[in-house]
Amino acid sequence: GDSVTQMEGPVTLSEEACLTINCTYTATGYPSLFWYVQYPGEGLQLLLKATKADDKGSNKGFEATYRKETTSFHLEKGSVQVSDSAVYFCALTSNTGNQFYFGTGTSLTVIP
Amino acid sequence: DAGITQSPRHKVTETGTPVTLRCHQTENHRYMYWYRQDPGHGLRLIHYSYGVKDTDKGEVSDGYSVSRSKTEDFLLTLESATSSQTSVYFCAISEAHGTGGSTDTQYFGPGTRLTVL
């Protein structure tokens, strides 16, 4: 079945460091891929998405490229800020399934 | 931001009591979902709805029931709450489902923190 595996956390970085959170997926059809962010005490917010192979999603300095050959959708940011501290979820939905599949989340803490 | 509200936002109840959580949307989206979020498990789908009076089970549906009598409202009921149902519950909505396209994007409510003593 469809599934998402993402990098275990927690991750702690200094401000202005580079960030990569790994996400790989398994899907039987043609999935759309998503990154969601959850700030403390809040619901999940869509961060970025890509709906087909080689698409790059981007938002707020974050980027992720849909790599079909490696079944990956890694989240990257060149210079993190304290305000990026949150939990990040990779997710997919497929045209052959009836669910939205989430990874277990990666907690990021950015220290000044 | 998508217009999704959840009520109550916090609830403490006792084992064996019934509990109903409400999700309300103003986006007129067809699909609505209930998830629970627990440490180490990420989000797990409880039930979802694909239209008024049309619902289906998710991964962790045991002990939960749902109803959708209007497009805008999706209710989650714990008939007899247990301590294992202590969790944070999120409602989500989407325009479409299973297309593999951008209209599958889910938008989330702020969550309800439920504690069952």
Tell me the per-residue pLDDT of A26-53, one tens digit each, with 9 for 90 and over.
987 778 899 999 998 889 999 999 988 9
- If you measure CA to CA, which chain B residue comes closest to A9? B40
Q: Do B108 and A34 touch (CB under 8 A)?
A: no
**Once rounded to an integer, what is the mean pLDDT over residues A79-87?**
96
pLDDT, residue B101, reads 63
Kindly report the nearest CA distance between residue B58 and chain A, in angstroms: 8
Q: Do A93 and B97 touch (CB under 8 A)?
A: yes
**Backbone region of residue A98 per phi and psi (left: phi > 0; alpha: psi in -120 to 50; beta: other values):** alpha
A88 and A37 Cβ atoms separated by less than 8 Å: yes
**Backbone region of residue B93 per phi and psi (left: phi > 0; alpha: psi in -120 to 50; beta: other values):** beta
Q: Do B106 and A42 touch (CB under 8 A)?
A: no
DSSP reduced 3-state for B12: strand
From first to last of the 117 residues of chain B, give the pLDDT tens digit.
569 999 999 999 999 999 999 999 999 999 999 999 998 888 999 999 999 999 999 889 999 999 999 999 999 999 999 999 999 999 999 987 766 666 778 899 999 999 999
Chain A environment of B58 (Cβ under 8 Å): 99
